[in-house]
Amino acid sequence: MFTGIIQSQGRISQMRESNKFKSIEIESNLKNFDIGSSICCSGICLTATSIQKNKFTADISNETLEKTNSKYWKKGTKVNLEKSLKIGDEVSGHFVFGHVDSTGELKEIKKVGKSWLMQIKFPSYLKKFIVSKGSISLNGISLTVNNVKSNQFNCMIIPHTFKNTDIQSYKKNQILNLEVDMLARYAHFSNLGK
């Protein structure tokens, strides 16, 4: 489990593919984790399979490749990184599981004052979990939904988040990993039983 507060950015330095999975090597300054540790890589919970100085490797299954933007990753791709949450850690964002629900498409990003407004198109079946002032994870970043219209929502990005994540490289129509707020999911399904 994670919080959506990005601790570092990494860069894919190597990639190997087979018919069962993709293996990636990520260069980063992330510290104090072990082989077998869960690392949130742009919203995807991956397991560190080897660690060397300033780099680690992880495998991505076919299921994950199908459901996330990792299918588009290549050498040089930047990824947002966060180590898993420890009991007693501060939760500054929201509970992020690293289990990507789907991808969203960036329809607009524009500067508003010192911040940036992003508009995201999402699959309509997720609308029941996305609410105004609720939390959402985009590429592993904990964000607050400003408002929702049809199958699109928007959110504001403060300068600190823009500077310390991959948002600064986003382009229109970019595909982003999207995970709905787990509390919204449980609240929805608990109401179905009433």
Please tell me the predicted confidence (pLDDT) of residue 184.
78
Which residues in the chain come in under a pLDDT of 70? 188-194
Please tell me the predicted confidence (pLDDT) of residue 193.
56
- 36 burial level (CB within 10 Å; 0-12, 13-18, 19+): exposed
**Given this chain, do its domains 8-83 and 102-192 carry the same CATH topology?**
yes
Q: Does domain 8-83 have CATH number 2.40.30.20?
A: yes
Cβ count near 184 (within 10 Å): 19
Q: Helices in the chain by DSSP H: which ranges?
A: 62-67, 159-164, 182-192
Please tell me the predicted confidence (pLDDT) of residue 4.
92
Nearest C-alpha neighbor of 80 from the set 28, 16, 118: 28
Please tell me the predicted confidence (pLDDT) of residue 185.
75
Phi, psi of 86 (to 5 degrees): -105, 150
Longest alpha-carbon distance in the chain: 53
CATH of domain 102-192: 2.40.30.20
Domain assignments of the chain as residue spans, ordered by start = 8-83, 102-192
Task: Please report which helix (H) or strand (E) contains residue 180, including its range.
Answer: strand 175-180
